[in-house]
């Protein structure tokens, strides 16, 4: 079967404590939502990342590490490479290495997602320290997209709380409820991108 463009692109940002959240969220999602999922995780720039391999065990969707020019397909999961800004343009990745700023990867990715997808952009802020993701969620909201923050179930709740307090979050939910709401959004009638 030929891959399809996603109805929505879902940016998922996390840092400390987010690995279990990624696993739980992906495990609770069906493999045929028509959405694409892009995980932007803070990681040491010198580290080798096994995130794609780890997450493959928790979803039936294909999980890949994003690379320059890679097309974004529905029902796929993509993870950012270490020491890179992972941006989205015209349903493809623009990967810029080395990253431009430490712990701003989520904001940069979500902002590019907002520009690329408009009302079809979704941002989710999960467990982590500091406030990365808040500016990106503001951008998604300004373009008509939808935003989520993990509720107090987050192992480290600074990032989701920062976004929530900034007033740019539509839904503050536990992971299973985020999955349910994503499935509801996926089933809505198509709108023009």
Q: pTM, whole model, 2 decimals?
A: 0.95
Range(s) of the domain holding residue 36: 9-124+135-186
Q: Environment class of residue 154 by beta-carbon count within 10 Å: exposed (0-12), middle (13-18) or buried (19+)?
A: buried
Residue 42 among the catalytic residues? yes
Q: Which residue is catalytic, options 42, 76, 139, 162?
A: 42
The verdict on residue 48 lying in a domain is: yes
**What tens digit of pLDDT does each residue of 132-191 get?**
999 999 999 999 999 999 999 999 999 999 999 999 999 999 999 999 999 999 987 655
Q: Which residue is catalytic, options 15, 41, 109, 111?
A: 15
CATH number assigned to the domain comprising residue 165: 3.40.50.180
| Distance separating alpha carbons of residues 41 and 19, to the nearest angstrom | 9
**3-state DSSP assignment of residue 90:** coil
| Distance separating alpha carbons of residues 170 and 167, to the nearest angstrom | 8
The verdict on residue 72 lying in a domain is: yes
| Distance separating alpha carbons of residues 110 and 40, to the nearest angstrom | 9
State the pLDDT confidence band at 102, using cuts at 50, 70 and 90.
confident
Q: Rounded mean pLDDT of the chain?
A: 94
The verdict on residue 52 lying in a domain is: yes
The verdict on residue 102 lying in a domain is: yes
Of 127, 110, 99, which is closest to residue 14 (Cα–Cα)?
127
The verdict on residue 146 lying in a domain is: yes
Q: Which residue is catalytic, options 107, 111, 112, 132?
A: 132
What's the domain count of the chain? 1
The verdict on residue 33 lying in a domain is: yes
Residue 15 among the catalytic residues? yes
Residue pair 185/122 in contact (Cβ under 8 Å)? The answer is yes
């Amino acid at each position: 079967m030929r891959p399809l463009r996603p109805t929505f692109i879902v940016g998922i940002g996390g840092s400390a404590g987010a690995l279990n959240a990624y696993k739980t969220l992906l495990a609770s999602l069906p493999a045929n939502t028509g959405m694409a999922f892009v995980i932007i995780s803070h990681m040491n720039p010198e580290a080798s990342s096994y995130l794609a391999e780890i997450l493959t065990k928790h979803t039936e969707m294909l999980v890949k590490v994003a690379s320059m020019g890679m097309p974004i397909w529905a029902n796929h999961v993509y993870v950012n490479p270490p020491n890179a800004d992972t941006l989205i343009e015209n349903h493809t990745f623009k990967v810029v290495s080395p990253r431009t700023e430490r712990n701003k990867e989520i904001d940069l990715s979500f902002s590019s997602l907002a520009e690329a997808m408009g009302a079809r952009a979704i941002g989710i802020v999960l467990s982590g320290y500091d406030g990365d993701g808040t500016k990106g969620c503001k951008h998604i909201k300004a373009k008509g997209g939808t935003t989520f923050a993990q509720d107090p179930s987050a192992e480290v709740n600074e990032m989701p709380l920062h976004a929530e307090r900034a007033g740019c979050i539509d839904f503050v939910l536990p992971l299973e409820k985020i999955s349910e709401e994503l499935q509801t959004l996926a089933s809505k009638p198509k709108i023009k991108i």
